[in-house]
């Protein structure tokens, strides 16, 4: 099986609210897949459906070849997960909760392998397992769920905003642990986030969800190609007319003594000969930052600055659509 | 001042339905009681006769109150006041915990604390809210009695006695909220204290000094330890004394003051009985959904079992007194049956039937809590953790139902054991002692209904689980246990499972009602188990 997760035209309605609106998501076996999207995009809803905690209104989902709703118990033997909002039992210590969750999977916590793993994870996450559930801070609650998931050998890990509440040091510990499980076991990972940098360090591929649909996806590099590279050089009496008429050049402008324009990232090589012929000086080529890429897909208000730099909302929306149908 | 007003209105708004139903229930109960008593025991002579029987039968005094003569008002006060005060007490403790500890637990309190409201205003708003609620309770009670045709002065005193007792428990609830770190713990302990107050005065009333004519009782000292006992000391309708009400008011205010001092010294969200550190590893017994449920409910089950044990022990403690009153006079037992919703041939049997019926309610409440826990787990989000592991929804639900069944049996077992020991110690060797086990068994079918019914609600209408669960139990108690006294007609009383509990008489036990209830439980349970498979986790 080379796909760990596949959903086709997945819909989920909460009354009038369409939380998922035709979601097509595919995660291959052995990959770390980033699931990005703004608040309320439907990430948690998707993960809950994939876990069989919620049922899709229509469409199909297959996880490790199983039907998540009908085969939930069988699926849970092979999947480990961390919910978006971790709640603990107030009277159980963190260590007890971790052991209990492991035993619910049929595991025995007496084995030296388990003990050693749990101990190691508690150490690297700097986690005190003897406190009671209610005494943990948000980050420490998160650690309970992370340790409980990472202590098992699962074929697939589903993480809903796994690092929310963790400090930067712990985030890097988490990143290292994820790389470890993928390398050691060839597990697949789907991790939702709205923090780009986290995904950037981990994921080999990403899907961007917005309003319940996948609006973009692919490897990070391929996504970069879909946006514009910013190019600038010193004006210095260069004749700008040739550039203004070139089809690859967008939003030509003057900023002090520098000329600026944007070029489609996958056509930068076509622009360079023009610049060479013009003999420009002080050339600067800035590849698009992922932030820009990300903002591009986010809500209109957030995206506003990126869009003006890029030729106005309309041309943008258009690109949006072509990207999607192309993907 | 503005902040106080805003927070007060917020509390009022949040509680508008809950408070309305508590206050209305209390008022309506008062009204019904007068009406029913005027119908059943219409004339002074009949009431005098009943009173004489009652004062000779401590079991009745425990469940009723302090006899102060056969006049209609005093007789009504004797019959219903302690129950009204019990309700007012529960209303207050739940209210207090809901707006303090529960708020801190959810983290909402911290949001408010961070605003200009600070740390005092939320407390002041809760006290104000509770105080107003008690004024409403006092008003509703007085109007209920007045509406039934009792005299105004006595009715107002009776109303004030209910409200004042309620205020004392408001303080108790607030204090419990400071001592316990979870709202469940605080609710549990303060509700237990309300029950204790009820039983203390029951014990004091039952062991009090009976006047020569057998029409009045002077309470023994244990009654003076209870806010409900203080309310009784007003002698509404006969004495109309207001000074005893100073006691509950002072206790309530004292608790509020202590809470204020604690509030000044501690951080938001902390409790005095702070949780100790726990083990780094789970005990081998904590391994599945059932053991998890047991772990979560352990404290509650122990509490209810102690309640059951107390009811059992009470049976024997009163046994001595009963020995002397054992009678075969059918007229006496017939009259008693009109007062205690129980049947039996001997006084001991009556006593066992009456007190075990109360234990049956405790058992039902204990089982109900286990099922309601399902919903609490779901809302808290911990259900999701379990159900993301290889545990089916059906197994999860089943585990809590099994635990509920175990707790029901445990509470009744503790009652029976307590009664058995105490009756033996009291030297009672009548055949009734042998009936203890049978009588305990008799209470199980009704209690099991309170597992299966809320489980079905949990599957079908998750959001309403907790409210409907408690409401069903409350209605069951009012219709089934107090329905006769309140003069409800047969059809209404038949709605309550408790009405159908098998009754052991000299000639045996009729279990037809019991089997019906077991059948209903089986059907509801199978339905809930089947239907939960189709239900999402975390549904509204
Ligand atoms: N139980 C529910 N009832 C009604 N609406 C819901 C429910 N759960 C989710 N929604 C709605 O579905 C949409 C998707 O929510 P979801 O929680 O999946 O978003 P998300 O991408 O996880 O957001 P976030 O980044 O904030 O966690 C939102 O509009 C949300 O309001
Ligand atoms: Mg989410």
pLDDT in tens, A5-41: 999 999 999 999 999 999 999 999 999 999 998 889 9
Residue A299 domain flag: no
Residue A327 domain flag: no
Overall number of domains in chain A: 2
Confidence band, pLDDT 50/70/90 cuts, at residue A303: very low
Q: Find tokens 């709640």 and name the residue.
A: A87
Q: For the domain that residue A262 is a member of, what is the CATH number?
A: 3.30.70
A87–B381 C-beta distance less than 8 A? yes
If one counts every other C-beta atom within 10 angstroms of the C-beta of residue A232, the result is: 18
Mean pLDDT of B364-374: 95
For residues A181 and A248, state if they share a domain: no
Q: How many residues are present in chain B?
A: 540
Closest CA to B222 of B62, B396, B71, B91: B62
For residues A168 and A234, state if they share a domain: no
Closest CA to B457 of B499, B513, B408, B397: B397
Confidence band, pLDDT 50/70/90 cuts, at residue B305: very high
For residues A171 and A259, state if they share a domain: no
The reported pLDDT for the residue numbered A313 is: 38
Q: What is the mean pLDDT of chain B?
A: 88
For residues A127 and A172, state if they share a domain: yes
A55–B390 C-beta distance less than 8 A? no
Q: Tokens at residue A204, please?
A: 């080999």
User: Which ligand approaches the C-alpha of residue A23 most closely?
Assistant: 1
For residues A183 and A199, state if they share a domain: yes
* For residue B233, pLDDT beyond 80: yes
Q: Who wins on pLDDT, B99 or A248?
A: B99
Mean pLDDT of B458-480: 92
Of the residues A96, A155, A159, the best mutation for testing chain B's interface (the one with the most B CB atoms within 10 Å of its CB) is A96
For residues A251 and A189, state if they share a domain: no
The C-alpha of B453 sits at a distance from chain A's nearest C-alpha, in angstroms, of: 24
Q: Residue A137's domain spans which residues?
A: 3-223
Mean pLDDT of B320-325: 50
The reported pLDDT for the residue numbered B507 is: 72
Residue A64 domain flag: yes
For residues A156 and A7, state if they share a domain: yes
Distance A133 CA to ligand 1 centre (A): 26
For residues A115 and A238, state if they share a domain: no
Query: Which of A223, A253, A272 lies at the terminal end of a domain, its last residue?
Result: A223
C-beta of A210 in contact with ligand 1 (< 6 A): no
Q: Is A14 helix (H, G, I), strand (E, B) or coil?
A: strand
Mean pLDDT of B57-62: 77
The C-alpha of B532 sits at a distance from chain A's nearest C-alpha, in angstroms, of: 12
For the ranges B152-156, B326-330, B447-451, the lowest mean pLDDT is seen at: B326-330
Mean pLDDT of B229-252: 96
Contact between B340 and B445 (Cβ < 8 Å): no
Q: Which residues pair with A233 in a beta bridge?
A: A259
Residue A271 domain flag: yes
For residues A129 and A176, state if they share a domain: yes
Q: State the closest ligand 1 atom to the C-alpha of A46, by its place in the atom list counted from 1.
A: 18
C-beta of A194 in contact with ligand 1 (< 6 A): yes
DSSP string for B350-406 = HHHHHHHHHHHHHHHHHHHHHHHHHHHHHHHTHHHHHHTSS--HHHHHHHHHHHHHH
Query: Which of A200, A223, A246 lies at the terminal end of a domain, its last residue?
Result: A223
Contact between B480 and B358 (Cβ < 8 Å): no
- CA distance readout (Å), B297 to B71, B192, B362: 46, 15, 15
B384 closest CB neighbour out of A53, A99, A105: A53
CA distance A260 to A250: 9
Q: Tokens at residue B134, please?
A: 């008690």
A130–B275 C-beta distance less than 8 A? no
User: Which ligand approaches the C-alpha of residue A18 most closely?
Assistant: 1
Mean pLDDT of B370-393: 95
pLDDT digits (tens, 9 = 90+) for A59-70: 999 999 999 999
CA atoms within 13 A on the CB side of B367: 31
For residues A209 and A271, state if they share a domain: no
CA distance A131 to B278: 6
Residue A319 domain flag: no
Mean pLDDT of B496-522: 89
Confidence band, pLDDT 50/70/90 cuts, at residue A305: very low
For the ranges A52-56, B265-269, B297-301, the lowest mean pLDDT is seen at: B265-269
The reported pLDDT for the residue numbered B540 is: 67
DSSP string for B171-200 = HHHHHHHHH-SSHHHHHHHHHHHHHHHHHH
B392 touches chain A (CB under 8 A): yes
Q: Find tokens 């019904």 and name the residue.
A: B32
If one counts every other C-beta atom within 10 angstroms of the C-beta of residue B395, the result is: 17
CA distance A86 to A138: 8
pLDDT digits (tens, 9 = 90+) for B185-210: 888 889 889 989 998 999 899 888 88
* For residue A215, pLDDT beyond 70: yes
CA distance B490 to B368: 26
pLDDT digits (tens, 9 = 90+) for A98-147: 999 999 999 899 999 999 999 999 999 999 999 988 788 899 999 999 99
DSSP state of A90: T
For residues A81 and A161, state if they share a domain: yes
Q: Who wins on pLDDT, B96 or A273?
A: B96
For residues A212 and A119, state if they share a domain: yes
Residue of B nearest to A55 (CA): B536
Residue whose Cα lies nearest atom 25 of ligand 1: it is: A39
Residue whose Cα lies nearest atom 14 of ligand 1: it is: A42
Q: For the domain that residue A96 is a member of, what is the CATH number?
A: 3.40.50.300
pLDDT digits (tens, 9 = 90+) for B244-296: 999 999 999 999 999 998 888 876 666 666 557 889 999 999 999 999 999 99
The reported pLDDT for the residue numbered A60 is: 96
B279 closest CB neighbour out of A48, A105, A130: A130
Closest CA to B449 of B512, B394, B396, B405: B405
If one counts every other C-beta atom within 10 angstroms of the C-beta of residue A205, the result is: 18
The reported pLDDT for the residue numbered A140 is: 93
For the ranges A34-43, A133-142, B84-93, B506-515, the lowest mean pLDDT is seen at: B506-515
H-only helix segments in chain A: 43-50, 72-78, 94-104, 112-124, 138-150, 168-185, 196-202, 220-224, 241-245, 268-278, 290-297, 300-308, 312-326
Confidence band, pLDDT 50/70/90 cuts, at residue B1: low
* Residue A186, phi-psi category: left (phi > 0), alpha (psi -120 to 50), beta (remainder): left
Question: What is the percent of chain B with per-residue pLDDT over 70, rounded to a whole number?
Answer: 90
DSSP string for B279-303 = -SS--TT--SHHHHHHHHHHHHHHH
Residue whose Cα lies nearest atom 6 of ligand 1: it is: A14
Residue A236 domain flag: yes
Q: pTM to 2 decimals?
A: 0.81
Confidence band, pLDDT 50/70/90 cuts, at residue A43: very high
Residue whose Cα lies nearest atom 4 of ligand 1: it is: A14
Distance A78 CA to ligand 2 centre (A): 23
pLDDT digits (tens, 9 = 90+) for A152-204: 999 999 999 998 889 989 999 999 999 999 999 999 999 998 877 678 788 98
Confidence band, pLDDT 50/70/90 cuts, at residue B329: very low
The reported pLDDT for the residue numbered A142 is: 95
The reported pLDDT for the residue numbered B500 is: 93
pLDDT digits (tens, 9 = 90+) for B411-435: 999 999 999 988 888 777 777 778 8
Query: Which of A286, A302, A317 lies at the terminal end of a domain, its last residue?
Result: A286
Mean pLDDT of B24-32: 92
Q: State the closest ligand 1 atom to the C-alpha of A12, by its place in the atom list counted from 1.
A: 12
């Amino acid at each position: 099986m080379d796909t760990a997760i596949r959903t086709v035209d997945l819909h989920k309605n909460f009354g009038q609210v369409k939380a998922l609106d035709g979601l097509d998501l595919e995660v291959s076996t052995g990959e770390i897949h980033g699931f990005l999207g703004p608040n309320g995009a439907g990430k948690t809803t998707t993960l809950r459906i994939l876990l069989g905690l919620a049922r899709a209104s229509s469409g199909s989902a297959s996880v490790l070849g199983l039907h998540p709703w009908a085969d939930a118990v069988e699926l849970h033997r092979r999947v480990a997960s961390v919910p978006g909002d971790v709640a603990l039992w107030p009277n159980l210590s963190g260590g007890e909760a971790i052991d209990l969750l492991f035993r619910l999977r049929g595991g025995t916590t007496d084995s030296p392998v388990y003990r050693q793993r749990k101990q190691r994870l508690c150490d690297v996450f700097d986690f005190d397992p003897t406190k009671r559930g209610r005494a943990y801070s948000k980050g420490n609650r998160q650690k309970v769920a992370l340790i409980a998931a990472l202590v098992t050998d699962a074929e697939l890990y589903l993480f809903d905003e796994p690092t929310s509440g963790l400090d930067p040091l712990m985030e890097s510990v988490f990143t290292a642990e994820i790389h470890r499980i993928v390398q050691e076991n060839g597990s697949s990972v789907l991790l939702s986030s709205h923090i780009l940098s986290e995904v950037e360090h981990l994921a080999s591929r990403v899907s961007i969800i917005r309003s319940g649909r996948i609006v973009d996806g692919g490897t990070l590099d391929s996504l970069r190609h879909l946006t514009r590279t910013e190019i600038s050089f010193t004006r210095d009496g260069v004749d700008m007319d040739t550039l203004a008429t070139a089809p690859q050049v967008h939003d030509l402008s003057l900023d002090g003594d520098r000329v600026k324009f944007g070029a489609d990232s996958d056509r930068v090589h076509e622009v360079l000969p023009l610049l060479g012929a013009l003999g420009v000086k002080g050339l600067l080529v800035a590849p698009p930052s992922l932030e820009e890429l990300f903002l591009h897909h986010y809500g209109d208000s957030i995206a506003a600055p990126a869009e003006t730099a890029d030729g106005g909302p309309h041309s943008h929306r258009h690109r949006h659509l072509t990207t999607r149908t192309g993907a | 001042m503005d902040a106080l007003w805003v927070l007060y209105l917020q509390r009022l708004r949040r509680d508008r339905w809950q408070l309305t139903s508590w206050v209305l229930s209390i008022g309506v109960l008062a009204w019904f009681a007068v009406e029913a008593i005027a119908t059943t025991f219409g004339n002074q002579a009949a009431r005098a006769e009943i009173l004489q029987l009652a004062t000779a039968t401590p079991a009745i005094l425990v469940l009723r109150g302090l006899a102060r003569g056969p006049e209609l008002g005093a007789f009504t006060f004797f019959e219903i006041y302690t129950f009204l005060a019990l309700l007012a007490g529960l209303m207050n403790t739940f209210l207090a915990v809901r707006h303090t500890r529960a708020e801190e637990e959810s983290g909402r309190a911290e949001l408010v604390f961070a605003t200009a409201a600070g740390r005092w205003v939320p407390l002041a708003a809760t006290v104000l809210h509770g105080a107003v609620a008690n004024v409403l309770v006092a008003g509703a009670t007085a109007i209920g009695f007045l509406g039934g045709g009792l005299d105004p002065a006595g009715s107002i005193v009776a109303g004030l006695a209910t409200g004042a007792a309620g205020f004392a428990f408001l303080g108790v609830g607030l204090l419990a909220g400071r001592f316990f770190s979870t709202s469940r713990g605080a609710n549990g302990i303060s509700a237990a204290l309300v029950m204790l107050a009820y039983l203390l005065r029951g014990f004091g009333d039952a062991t009090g000094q009976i006047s020569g004519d057998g029409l009045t009782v002077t309470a023994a000292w244990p009654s003076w330890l209870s806010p409900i006992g203080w309310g009784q000391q007003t002698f509404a309708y006969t004495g109309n004394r207001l000074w005893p009400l100073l006691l509950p008011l002072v206790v309530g205010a004292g608790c509020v003051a202590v809470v204020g001092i604690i509030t000044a010294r501690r951080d938001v969200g902390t409790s005095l009985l702070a949780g100790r550190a726990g083990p780094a590893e789970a005990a081998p017994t904590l391994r599945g959904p059932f053991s998890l449920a047991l772990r979560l409910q352990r404290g509650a089950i122990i509490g209810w079992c102690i309640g059951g044990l107390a009811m059992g022990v009470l049976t024997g403690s009163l046994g001595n007194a009963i020995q002397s009153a054992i009678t075969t006079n059918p007229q006496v037992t017939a009259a008693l049956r009109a007062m205690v919703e129980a049947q039996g041939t001997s006084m001991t049997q009556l006593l066992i039937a009456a007190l075990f019926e109360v234990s049956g309610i405790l058992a039902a409440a204990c089982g109900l809590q286990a099922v309601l826990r399902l919903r609490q787990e779901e809302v808290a989000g911990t259900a999701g953790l379990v159900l993301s592991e290889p545990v089916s929804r059906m197994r999860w639900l089943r585990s809590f139902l099994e635990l509920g069944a175990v707790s029901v049996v445990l509470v009744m077992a503790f009652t029976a054991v307590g009664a058995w020991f105490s009756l033996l110690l009291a030297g009672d060797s009548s055949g009734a002692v042998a009936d203890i086990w049978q009588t305990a068994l008799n209470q199980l079918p009704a209690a099991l209904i309170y597992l299966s019914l809320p489980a079905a609600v949990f599957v079908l209408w998750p959001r309403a689980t907790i409210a409907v669960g408690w409401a069903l139990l409350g209605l069951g108690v009012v219709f089934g246990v107090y329905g006769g006294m309140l003069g409800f007609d047969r059809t209404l009383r038949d709605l309550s499972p408790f009405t159908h509990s098998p009754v052991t008489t000299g000639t045996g036990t009729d279990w037809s009602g019991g089997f019906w209830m077991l059948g209903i439980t089986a059907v509801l349970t199978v339905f809930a188990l089947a239907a939960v498979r189709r239900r999402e986790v975390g549904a509204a």
